[in-house]
Structure 1
Amino acid sequence: MARHLEIAHDLMEEIDEGRYAPGTALPTEDQLMSTYGTSRNTVRRALRELSSRGRIDTRQGSGSTVREYRPTVHLASSVKGEPDDERYTRYVERIKHEQGVEPTQRLRVIVEAATGRLARLMELDPSHTAGFVVIRRCDRYIGPRLWQRQLSYYPDFIAKGESKGAALMQPEDIPRGTRELLAELGYPQTKSWDVVGAKMPSLKDSALFGIGPGTPLLVHDRMAYSGNTPIRFTKTLMPADRHQLLYFEGDMTPESLRKATDVNIYDH
């Protein structure tokens, strides 16, 4: 093993074992050079390795500190009695509890033809007048930082089929939730599937979310049906160092859910 990787491995073990807690400073370059009897260049390569893995933050002239993670919970299961999985009011409550700040959101509505994978998933033909989707894009921010982007796609014939469906066309939050709205329109959700994965962000994604080196992007896809009719496809994009997914089974009390949202997977 190369010398700089040996040093990085030692430091990672000490971080994992709690010798260096989140937010605390690592030994200086001079101290590490003395400890390992090696050159400054080797020490810097070791620190760059830790930085690329998302374990430390390094600032010129300020040294290196162990990175502190305070992820928020993305509720990935339906809650009994709640009309929608990610209503903004619930999201605000969780963020205020977990991060100590109140997030903001920006909603945008777009109408476009369904093509490719989306057309296949939603069983729409873009060559037909009914082959369009209404996209509700919700960007959620903590301060100036984009924290989460959620894109929800609805068949055009639902959004424009009745007067109530016009709410989907407005760039405003729907307090009762889109799930309840769909039921009012005659499309109660009866089943759904989820796919969750992680991918390295594109340069555009890195700039959009302010993602540092070594951090993947979590992608949560959900397709909802009413009977066998696709009624909503939702894609949620989340930097993996800021989010953790919560799934549960059975009846959960509010207290049990609160305890679950307090879990931080980065804690030792």
Structure 2
Amino acid sequence: MEPRHIEIAHELMEEIDQGRYVPGQPLPTEDRLIETYRTSRNTVRRALHELASRGRIDTKQGSGSRVRDYRPTVHLASPLQGHSDDERYANYLDRMRREHGVDPREDLKVGREPATGTLAHLLDLDPAEDRGFAVIRRCDRYVGTRLWERQESYYPDFIAEGTDLDRPANVPEGTKKLLAELGYPQTGSWDVIGAKMPSLKESSRFALGPGVPLLVHERVAYSDTTPIRFTRTYLPADRHQLLYAEGAIEPDLLHTATDVNVYDR
């Protein structure tokens, strides 16, 4: 038999899932929950803590508890015909302005580091050789003061050194087109997407609430059999949904997908 506070937490989660308590709506007061479940204040508080730790409610001293309101932004994660890159930043900016009413900003830094471990394996580089370094482009995207997502792209140094990839500025034509102009047209790629609970540093960096995981989207792109780019994107799960589209679908049709919220019931 489960502890009483877990039973109460499960019942409240069911009511949230069924829409009795909608996002942004307050839950009953502690006194009301004590009366409803005929239990102690400590048990009710433990049940509410359980819901908060799972990211279902926000609890503030003196203000009670409210159902957490998730309004994630769609992150386009697959190529579209007629687009030079998987996720054109201009389109992302437009969505953020529309959905959040603010102007996002980005902070782009470029560096160079020896390729070791997983990075060396994925880009087929040997740090003991001259061609064993990678150019890294790290882009932090903010909404207000909050870090919204971080994207890190690694390019073999023998491809990127001395090019626009090696400078801390956006590439207007897109990196895919630039790589093709450098003699490395992208012919294929693979993706791995997973979710993990953040470290303390990541929780602080992204200002994550309790119970919120990080989505991690990794992609390696190839020109024939040569790895030309490894990209890792960190996306707080309460702020993002990944959208994949297949075939000759018009970009305007994707607006339907932007109305889908996996947190709605």
- Letter paired with 2:232: K
- Counterpart of 1:89 in structure 2 is 90
In structure 2, distance between residues paired with 1:155 and 1:116: 14
Secondary structure of 1:176 counterpart: coil
User: Which residue of 221, 228, 233 corresponds with 1:231?
Assistant: 228
* Correspondence 1:14 to 2:15: yes
Among all aligned residue pairs of Structure 1 and Structure 2, give the percentage whose two residues are the same amino acid.
67
- Counterpart of 2:130 in structure 1 is 129
In structure 1, distance between residues paired with 2:82 and 2:137: 23
Note the C-alpha offset of 1:98. Answer: 2.4
* Correspondence 1:174 to 2:162: no
1:88/1:173 contact within 8 Å kept: no
Note the C-alpha offset of 1:255. Answer: 2.3
- Counterpart of 1:215 in structure 2 is 212
- Counterpart of 2:73 in structure 1 is 72
Note the C-alpha offset of 1:152. Answer: 0.2
* Correspondence 1:27 to 2:24: no
- Letter paired with 2:182: L
In structure 2, distance between residues paired with 1:218 and 1:131: 29
User: Which residue of 253, 259, 262 corresponds with 1:262?
Assistant: 259
In structure 1, distance between residues paired with 2:209 and 2:125: 38
- Counterpart of 1:192 in structure 2 is 189
When normalised by structure 2's length, the TM-score is 0.97
After superposition, the C-alpha distances for 1:9-56 in whole angstroms (9 at most, x for unaligned) are: 111111111111100100000110111111110000000000011000
Q: Which runs of 5+ in 2 are unaligned?
A: none
Secondary structure of 1:211 counterpart: coil
- Letter paired with 2:207: G
1:75/1:245 contact within 8 Å kept: yes
- Counterpart of 2:37 in structure 1 is 36
- Counterpart of 1:201 in structure 2 is 198
2:112/2:135 contact within 8 Å kept: yes
In structure 2, distance between residues paired with 1:3 and 1:19: 21
1:196/1:219 contact within 8 Å kept: yes
Further displaced range: 104-113 or 85-94: 85-94
When normalised by structure 1's length, the TM-score is 0.96
Root-mean-square deviation (CA), in Å?
A: 0.9
Further displaced range: 241-250 or 91-100: 91-100
In structure 2, distance between residues paired with 1:39 and 1:123: 61
In structure 1, distance between residues paired with 2:215 and 2:227: 23
Further displaced range: 257-266 or 17-26: 257-266
